[in-house]
Structure 1
Amino acid sequence: MIKSYLKIAWRNFIKNKSHSFINVSGLSVGLACSLLIVLWVQDERSIDAFHANGKLLYQVYERQSHDGKIEASYLTQALLADELKRRIPEVRYASGLEQGHPLTFQSGDKIVKMEGTFAGADFFRMFSYPLLQGTPESALNTPAGIAISRKMAELFFGSAEKAIGKSLRYENKDNVQVTAVFENLPANSSRQFDFLRSWKAFVKENAWVNNWGNFSPATFLQLRADADPDKTAAKVKNFISLYNSETNSNHTELYLQPYAEKYLNSTFKNGQIDGGRIVYVHLFSLAAIFILLIACANFMNLATARSIKRSKEVGVRKVIGAARSSLIVQFLSEALLLTSISIIIAVILVIALLPAFNNLTGKYLFLPVEQPVFWGTISGMLLFTAIVAGSYPAFFLSSLNPVRVLKGSLIFGRGATFFRKGLVVFQFSLSIILIVGMIVIYRQMEYMQTKSLGYNRDNLLYIPIEGDLIKKYDLFKEEVGKIPGIQSVSKMKESPTVIGHTKDDIGWVGKDPNLITPFADATVGYDFVKTMKLKLKDGRDFSRNFSTDSVGYMVNEEAVKKIGYQNPVGQPLSWGSRQGKIIGVLKDFHFNSMHEAIEPLVIRLSENQTWGTILVRVEAGKTKQVIAALEKICKDLNPNFSFTYQFSDQEYSKLYNSEQVVSRLSGYFAFLAIFISCMGLLGLIMFTAEQRVKEIGIRKILGASVSSLFTLLSSEFLVLVVIALLVASPIAWYAMNKWLQGFAYHTLIQWWVFAFSAGLIMLIALATVSFQAARSALINPVKSLRNE
């Protein structure tokens, strides 16, 4: 029986080529789009899900209450991991992890920069990064030890086996010994690194870690299998109070977040975890469902448009004894056939589009044809689409009265008409939401790229302070100053793009002794203000003409508000035990993502810092020549390190990689939604034209003009689009306004965004209905009035 149904379905498919082409095209595009999104969502959810101890792994985050505000971050104290393990019995393993940096290694003539960081001795016991050589217990337990990746081992020594026990020159200052070789990290690891050094070495190199008021590394815990996470969290909560004096209004609390959840949920709001990339996972999951529903709605509309021609077939079948159930199975079989053809085409489209999609999203997605889950997903999409798309035509056509059908008096009721028009409203509502979303996201991206940061990020280069440049910085600055096109040179311990270190031991006259409030801190060299092109509100920059500047400070406007000085220049300020005075007040500038509000900032002078960033301001149009000259100077002064640099504007753009991907994807999704929705609109006007074919013929005989008939046919569809606008606009405003609240600084949703979206949709809708409306209006009335 099913075989016969499929034969009939195939004959109808071949017979009605244009109808079938529109139907298959809409379903194929919708399925391809949905499948790409499913692959992306599955990849996002797989990040960090491969660790064997995943259910026992937690990342610590700190919630700080001060001045009536509650803030939270993943920055923790460097000694925290070891202390938690020592004092909390439920903690089996603990490890700190510092932020990664490209660092230079040398073996023989090979000098290469590799990405890596410092980690605790328990790191490889906690995380499932397979060791090819060495053991988890010994990999990071000595200050001179280093664990390297397979790639790094093969690069320097030819193989993992040959690397073990060998020495590498680290930053041209220390010799480190390879104690372990780990497999190259998988793409679904949120953290990527090629080496890890011992935490003992980190503590040895950074004296500030012994101050519990300093924050920088991340802290990870693995609980014992029999530990109660809630009871452990309760023990950990007030742990910092053992080391820092606190009050009820100013205190720090520790919280535990399951490590597997951190990648998708890493945004804080009012001290609580409040979304992150999970927002985009939900957004795109909904987009996949809605685009698939739009494609299914098209199938329904196009099937209904053909219902008049299929109605007599239904009537004859019912007269000769066909049960309604058999007719339902027949039409569902037809839907299954069309969907099967569509999903084959969709898979081919996905294969063709995957390279471009991967390039767009920065992923390495592929069709996992060897995995049963993939075929389960395909089967699920096939059945879902076939049932949803074929259900309405199946139940509607099978319910037709054979007597009325064979008499030629088939008239569709209000319910059926309302349902079909409702589908079009639904389709265009979603399209409008996507268009508004696309425009708002694009405007926010443009806002962040064009908004004044308080400094000029154009023509500003970052060069790492490393090797001989540490001691030869003054000579480097002198030589670089001779290069034509160089405006100014300075340095900074971190980089202006992201200042991630904070201190809570800043003191001033009149400060409440119980007040603990974090300040972002920066250490800079001379000419910092000039090089950054910052604006001084009061006072001056650090200068060699003032010997007291060695204990002087510059602060931003937010810091002045926090401190409360009316005339801050010349007023005392302390940085821990370091006493000094404020010499200058900088106008606020952004030194983090615009997701975050500008924080109080304290800047001190140090020309002797052993790491950080050299800032080079270049004249516009001379970047290429200057970089060539800088490379030559660096090779002369620092021969054991390869010359590397970053552009400030590019580093700033990296802060918004996720948003940029979303912006581009939303544009494509909006286009696809419009494309598929227009097919639905075309299906509905085809249906209407077939229903009113005799009416149109009579009107033409009575003298109706082509333009009046065109208006008659197209006006009701434009009304549907207007209804869609009224439905979608408040939803789009609410959704995008909520998204914008995730930025401390954002653009406004202007009225013209909705006006533009309305105009665009109306134009596209009018263009869609015009062809069929004009065709129906121009048809020969004699043909329209024939009985057959």
Structure 2
Amino acid sequence: MLRNYLKIAWRNLAKNRVYSGINVFGLAMGMACALLVGLWLSDELSYNRYVPDADRVFLVRVNYNLNGGETQTAYATPGPLQAAIARDIPQVMGTTKLTWPTEGLVRVGNRVAKEQGQYASASFFDVFDLPAVQGNPKVALANPNQIVISQTMAAKYFPAGQAIGQTLQLDNSRVFVVGAVLKDLPATSTLAFDWLANFTVQEQPWQNQWGFNSVQTYLRLRPDVSSAQAETAMRGLFRRYATFDNKERIVLQPITDLHLWGEYENGVAVGGQIEYVRIFAVVALFILLLACINFMNLSTARSAVRAKEVGVRKVIGSSRRGLMGQFLSESVLLCAVGAGVALGMVWFTLPEFNAVFDKHLTLDLTDPLRWAGIIGLVLITGLLAGSYPALFLSGLTPLSILKGAGWRPASRGPVQLRRMLVVFQFALSTFLLIGMLGIGQQMTYLRTKHLGLDRDNMIYVRLEGKLDDYEKTEAFRQVLLQAPSVAGATTTAHLPLNIQSRSTDLQWPGRNPKQLVEVSAMSVGNDFIKTTGIRLIAGRDFRPNSYADTSAYIINEAAAKLMGMTKPVGQPITFWFGKGPIIGLMKDFHLNSLHQSIGPLVLTYMPPNGQYLMVKPRHGQTPQALADLERLLKQFNPTYPFAYHFLDEAYEDLYHREQQVTTLVTSFGLLAILISCLGLFALAAFTAEQRTKEIGVRKVLGASVSSIVTLLSKDFLVLVLIAIALAVPLAWWALRAWLSSFAYRIDTAWWLFALAGLLAVTIALLTVSVQSIKAALMNPVRSLRSE
């Protein structure tokens, strides 16, 4: 029976090549989107699941109570916390602390390159039981003279194959012996290192103070302990050891949630990448639904053509169930052909998809689960797309069909359904079109907004190697300033558009001692204000090489407002380096992404704390400035390769996820419009075909081409206008919700929605007009002889 169904289905598809081709292409695009997003979702949901017993491994976070009752959740923790947990909490079977990932210069013979690594406590492998290729990683990490490296790094620096016992030099200073080689971490890992060294090698005194959140802390729970039980047991750790009490509370985040749930509000995980997972899934589902709607539209539109076939089949004994099986078989077969085309589309677009979304996805057709997913997609899509046509056509009455009369009144149902489906298609297309325009406007706003400092062509390099020494850095800066291509140069501890350092140490006269205040803080070197172009409202910049200014401070407007100072210059405050005067008030500039409001900032003058050298080229001389910078760096720091970045790049990185959403909505929006136009084109063609005789009569009676085009187009135009009316309020709500995550954003102006509606109407009219004009220009003699 199934074989007979498929044979008849194939004949029907071959007989109607145009409509079948449109359906196959539409279904293929819908399924290609579903497959691409399915691969992406599978990858997103698999982060850190490679870790053995990953459900028992947690990142330690700390909730702090700020003024106003707000709770802030810190990602970083104090250095002594790890030892306190290991000592006092029996529910924990292993705990470790890590530094933030850093790039170290690795040298083995003539091979020199920067590799990303971390410093971890000796108990790291008690928490992360990662597989080793060579050696014993636990023993190696416990030895400060040994280093653990990845399989890729071992192959790169020790191509002979035996890395154990070999030596490498890190940052032109310390020599390590390779003690173990780990299997490469998968791309779905939030841990990111190619080398791992003992924490004590780089340990500083301040990293052992409870007041500095300087490390990441992870732990592994015992099998019979829940995270809630462990959190309860850890209450009071800060009160027991720290000299302050801000009612800190430890919260444990599963490592399987780190990638998707990175944002906390008032101590609770509220979102992050999971929001984009939902958006991707919903948009892909809508695109697939549009393709199914095209199939339903064309199938019900052509029901009159197949009505006699149904009548004959019923007369000779076919049951309704058998007819439904026949039509569903045709739908599934069409989807199977579309799936083959979709796989080709996925294979072709996957490299570009990976580049845009920073993935390493592959279309592995040797995986049985992947084939199960593809087959499931074909069956679900085929049954969904063919459900209504099968129900409708199999329910026709044979007597009325064969008489040629009773079937037509019953066609109101499918006509109304087709109209509803067209409205849904164009409502979704208009919704995505508004999203494309709105998100594009916001991204343009982010790129062009003046941030309160000069970021255009600003170059920065890391201070490393010999330039770790302040005197050598200052000598290098002075020589660099003599280059005609350089307008300014300064050193900073953080990039000014992404200041991550926070402090609760700020004190001022009249402050409520019970008030907990957190401010951003940054150490800067000579000429910071001048180089960055930040505007000073009052006071002065730090004086170059002034020891007295190391206990002086510059604040922004937000900090002055926080302290209630209308004229802050000259007022005393107490901060990192003791009590000192405010010597400058600078205009607010953006400290982080535009998701966040500008907060209070305190600048301290401490040139030895510089991590970056920022260089401002003269106008139009950026290439020469880069050449001068490279030449001088090779003189002052010859053992390190020249590596530079632009501040604009760092700023763009703050909106990486937004760029991905922009690409997604734009691509899928255009795809939705294309699929909708395919369906509308086919429906217009079918409508014109059904009204061939009417068009001929009208032309004989003197109707003009324009009047016939208007006649054939107006019904579709009304449907598109209804779709726009439905889409605009939904799009307004969704766009406002997305924009609400930005502290600084565009206004949702009326013209944005009007433009999207105009584009939707124009696209629909162009699509319908092609068939309408063709029908209107047909010779009326041929039209009247068509029946």
TM > 0.5 fold call: yes
Do the aligned residues in 1 keep the contact of 2:190 with 2:258 (CA within 8 Å)? no
After TM superposition, list the pairs within 5 Å mapping 1:412-431 onto structure 2. 412-431=410-429
Quick check: 1:150 aligned with 2:151? yes
Write the deviation string for residues 248-275 of structure 1: whole angstroms up to 9, x where unpaired. xx53322111110110111233443221
Do the aligned residues in 2 keep the contact of 1:524 with 1:603 (CA within 8 Å)? yes
SS of 1:188's equivalent in the other structure is coil
What's 1:621 paired with? 620
TM-score by length of 2: 0.95
After TM superposition, list the pairs within 5 Å mapping 1:73-92 onto structure 2. 73-92=74-93
Q: CA deviation at 1:224?
A: 1.1
Write the deviation string for residues 546-573 of structure 1: whole angstroms up to 9, x where unpaired. 5420211112222222233332212222
Quick check: 1:771 aligned with 2:770? yes
Deviates more, 1:416-425 or 1:557-566: 557-566
After TM superposition, list the pairs within 5 Å mapping 1:122-161 onto structure 2. 122-158=123-159, 161=162
SS of 1:216's equivalent in the other structure is strand
What's 2:326 paired with? 330
Do the aligned residues in 2 keep the contact of 1:150 with 1:160 (CA within 8 Å)? no
What's 2:530 paired with? 530
What's 1:239 paired with? 237
Quick check: 1:185 aligned with 2:185? yes
Q: CA deviation at 1:786?
A: 5.3
Any unmatched runs of 5+ in structure 1? none
**How far, CA to CA, are the matches of 1:26 and 1:92 in structure 2?**
55
Do the aligned residues in 2 keep the contact of 1:459 with 1:617 (CA within 8 Å)? yes
Q: 1:174 to 1:518 in 2, by over 3 A?
A: farther
Do the aligned residues in 2 keep the contact of 1:215 with 1:503 (CA within 8 Å)? no
What's 1:284 paired with? 280
What's 1:212 paired with? 210
**How far, CA to CA, are the matches of 1:492 and 1:762 in structure 2?**
54
**How far, CA to CA, are the matches of 1:138 and 1:603 in structure 2?**
44
**How far, CA to CA, are the matches of 2:287 and 2:141 in structure 1?**
50
Q: CA deviation at 1:80?
A: 2.0
Q: 1:582 to 1:143 in 2, by over 3 A?
A: farther
What one-letter code is carried by the residue in structure 1 that aligns with 2:170?
A: Y
Q: 1:350 to 1:577 in 2, by over 3 A?
A: closer
User: What value does the CA root-mean-square deviation take over the aligned residues?
Assistant: 2.1
**How far, CA to CA, are the matches of 1:504 and 1:730 in structure 2?**
44
After TM superposition, list the pairs within 5 Å mapping 1:572-583 onto structure 2. 572-576=572-576, 578-583=578-583
What one-letter code is carried by the residue in structure 2 that aligns with 1:763?
A: T
What one-letter code is carried by the residue in structure 2 that aligns with 1:356?
A: E
After TM superposition, list the pairs within 5 Å mapping 1:251-290 onto structure 2. 251-290=247-286
**How far, CA to CA, are the matches of 2:620 and 2:183 in structure 1?**
44
SS of 2:607's equivalent in the other structure is coil
Deviates more, 1:233-242 or 1:762-771: 233-242
Write the deviation string for residues 584-632 of structure 1: whole angstroms up to 9, x where unpaired. 12222222222223232222112223x6111111113222222222222
SS of 2:139's equivalent in the other structure is coil
Q: 1:783 to 1:313 in 2, by over 3 A?
A: farther
What's 2:375 paired with? 379
Do the aligned residues in 2 keep the contact of 1:302 with 1:683 (CA within 8 Å)? yes
Deviates more, 1:166-175 or 1:181-190: 166-175
Q: 1:214 to 1:224 in 2, by over 3 A?
A: same
Percent same amino acid at aligned positions? 42
Do the aligned residues in 2 keep the contact of 1:214 with 1:504 (CA within 8 Å)? no
Deviates more, 1:620-629 or 1:173-182: 173-182
Deviates more, 1:408-417 or 1:9-18: 408-417
What's 1:470 paired with? 468
**How far, CA to CA, are the matches of 1:450 and 1:13 in structure 2?**
53
What's 1:654 paired with? 653
Write the deviation string for residues 139-188 of structure 1: whole angstroms up to 9, x where unpaired. 322444422222323333335633x3443332223333333222222112
**How far, CA to CA, are the matches of 1:29 and 1:327 in structure 2?**
28
SS of 1:667's equivalent in the other structure is helix
Q: 1:732 to 1:91 in 2, by over 3 A?
A: same
Q: 1:161 to 1:252 in 2, by over 3 A?
A: same
Quick check: 1:602 aligned with 2:602? yes
What one-letter code is carried by the residue in structure 2 that aligns with 1:467?
A: G
Q: CA deviation at 1:511?
A: 2.3
Q: 1:588 to 1:145 in 2, by over 3 A?
A: farther
Candidates 197, 220, 223, aligned match of 1:222: 220
Q: 1:616 to 1:288 in 2, by over 3 A?
A: same
What one-letter code is carried by the residue in structure 2 that aligns with 1:109?
A: N
Do the aligned residues in 2 keep the contact of 1:100 with 1:116 (CA within 8 Å)? yes
What's 1:438 paired with? 436
What's 1:716 paired with? 715
After TM superposition, list the pairs within 5 Å mapping 1:552-701 onto structure 2. 552-576=552-576, 578-609=578-609, 612-701=611-700
SS of 1:59's equivalent in the other structure is strand
Q: 1:207 to 1:603 in 2, by over 3 A?
A: farther
Do the aligned residues in 2 keep the contact of 1:98 with 1:118 (CA within 8 Å)? yes
Do the aligned residues in 1 keep the contact of 2:550 with 2:577 (CA within 8 Å)? no
Deviates more, 1:237-246 or 1:343-352: 237-246
SS of 2:140's equivalent in the other structure is coil
What's 2:199 paired with? 199
Q: CA deviation at 1:576?
A: 4.5
Q: CA deviation at 1:125?
A: 2.8
**How far, CA to CA, are the matches of 2:461 and 2:543 in structure 1?**
22
Q: CA deviation at 1:534?
A: 1.0
What's 1:404 paired with? 400
Do the aligned residues in 2 keep the contact of 1:246 with 1:516 (CA within 8 Å)? no
Q: CA deviation at 1:191?
A: 3.0
Q: CA deviation at 1:683?
A: 3.2
Q: 1:121 to 1:273 in 2, by over 3 A?
A: same
Write the deviation string for residues 220-255 of structure 1: whole angstroms up to 9, x where unpaired. 2211111122121223355333344666xx533221
Any unmatched runs of 5+ in structure 2? none
What's 1:738 paired with? 737
Write the deviation string for residues 287-328 of structure 1: whole angstroms up to 9, x where unpaired. 111111110110111112222211111111112221111111
Do the aligned residues in 1 keep the contact of 2:526 with 2:545 (CA within 8 Å)? no
Q: CA deviation at 1:577?
A: 6.2
SS of 2:175's equivalent in the other structure is strand
Write the deviation string for residues 735-787 of structure 1: whole angstroms up to 9, x where unpaired. 12111222222222221111111011100000111122223334444555558
Q: 1:741 to 1:72 in 2, by over 3 A?
A: farther
What one-letter code is carried by the residue in structure 2 that aligns with 1:47?
A: Y
**How far, CA to CA, are the matches of 2:165 and 2:538 in structure 1?**
57
Q: CA deviation at 1:47?
A: 1.9
Do the aligned residues in 2 keep the contact of 1:238 with 1:254 (CA within 8 Å)? no
Q: CA deviation at 1:730?
A: 1.4
Do the aligned residues in 2 keep the contact of 1:556 with 1:586 (CA within 8 Å)? yes
What's 2:340 paired with? 344
**How far, CA to CA, are the matches of 1:196 and 1:663 in structure 2?**
37
Candidates 386, 389, 396, aligned match of 1:390: 386
**How far, CA to CA, are the matches of 2:605 and 2:108 in structure 1?**
36
What one-letter code is carried by the residue in structure 2 that aligns with 1:390?
A: G
**How far, CA to CA, are the matches of 1:85 and 1:3 in structure 2?**
67
Quick check: 1:705 aligned with 2:701? no
**How far, CA to CA, are the matches of 2:513 and 2:238 in structure 1?**
18
Deviates more, 1:232-241 or 1:452-461: 232-241
Q: CA deviation at 1:654?
A: 1.3
Q: Tell me the matched-pair count.
A: 782
Q: 1:595 to 1:72 in 2, by over 3 A?
A: farther
**How far, CA to CA, are the matches of 1:605 and 1:689 in structure 2?**
78
Q: CA deviation at 1:488?
A: 1.0
Write the deviation string for residues 194-242 of structure 1: whole angstroms up to 9, x where unpaired. 112222234x2x3322332222332222111111221212233553333
What's 1:448 paired with? 446
After TM superposition, list the pairs within 5 Å mapping 1:30-69 onto structure 2. 30-68=30-68, 69=70
Do the aligned residues in 1 keep the contact of 2:292 with 2:384 (CA within 8 Å)? yes
What's 1:304 paired with? 300
What one-letter code is carried by the residue in structure 1 that aligns with 2:606?
A: S
What one-letter code is carried by the residue in structure 2 that aligns with 1:448?
A: L
Do the aligned residues in 1 keep the contact of 2:301 with 2:414 (CA within 8 Å)? no
